[in-house]
Amino acid sequence: MPEIVSQTGRLRELLQTPRAAGASIGFVPTMGALHAGHARLLEVARRQNQFLAASIFVNPLQFDRPEDLDTYPRTWEQDLRLCRDCGVDLIFAPTPELLYPRQQLTFVESPSLAAHLCGRFRPGHFRGVATVVLKLLNLVQPNRAYFGRKDAQQLAIIRRMALDLDLPVEIVPVPTVREPDGLALSSRNLRLTPPQRVLAPLLYRSLRAAAEAIDAGETSVPVIRQRALAVLSPCPAESVEYFEIVDPETLVPLDRVAAPVLIAAALWLGATRLIDNLSWPATSD
């Protein structure tokens, strides 16, 4: 069973032994409600490191809607089993009071990266993510930290934070895990009603339609977008929050495809918000 620790002092103490022995430390930060997508992150991290740490912390700082924080799935026993099965050595699971023992007055922001895609609709979300990730990286001081490609904007912001702030950690992207029908795995999928679950794979199919249009030589983003949105037409009107083709590093929306792009979309099905993305051309990792 992994060692479970909630105090930051004890965490540092426990990490001293592997560090002193020269073991590489892999770290997978999570908010719990673990599924096969997280298992993939843990498996990749397990293969690449001698010591594997994970965190389970539902970070209040990154929730722009309080009801989302209250209803965020919490599946502690199941999470522990998954961590054990994936060979996790240590789980850091602080309470909000332990991780934020005083009012937080310092934050990490990447305003130009957060201005696009999800950030347009989730004020403060990426500031909360970057701030907690920097805190966790400072506490764990891993050699490598692992993030899923499904949260492409989060990954772009964390990669840039690591570069801009000279963090001594390698940020490792891990491919999205999908259901057989293409739906990207997410803790939020648990909230879909059966009719919503039937519509949900259209999100991935719309991304594929865009990638196929580019493969076929189309470069006009409005034309590509139109083809992709046609795939989403069975979804209720207004359900598409955004469908964008952006520069993969700056996340700036493009009018024309002339180089590698990120195709990203967000779809509301009832009260559930799904996001997904594809890189074009497809990445090999």
Q: Indicate which residues carry an active-site annotation.
A: 38
Closest distance of CB 199 from ligand PAF, Å: 24
Closest distance of CB 29 from ligand PAF, Å: 4
Closest distance of CB 180 from ligand PAF, Å: 23
Q: Is 129 or 200 the residue whose CB approaches ligand PAF more closely?
A: 129
Point out which residues bind ligand PAF (CB under 6 A). 29-31, 59, 62, 129, 132-133, 151, 154
Q: Is 57 or 204 the residue whose CB approaches ligand PAF more closely?
A: 57
Q: Is 238 or 285 the residue whose CB approaches ligand PAF more closely?
A: 285
Q: Is 116 or 149 the residue whose CB approaches ligand PAF more closely?
A: 149
The whole-angstrom distance between residue 212's C-alpha and the CA centroid of its chain comes to 25
Closest distance of CB 62 from ligand PAF, Å: 6
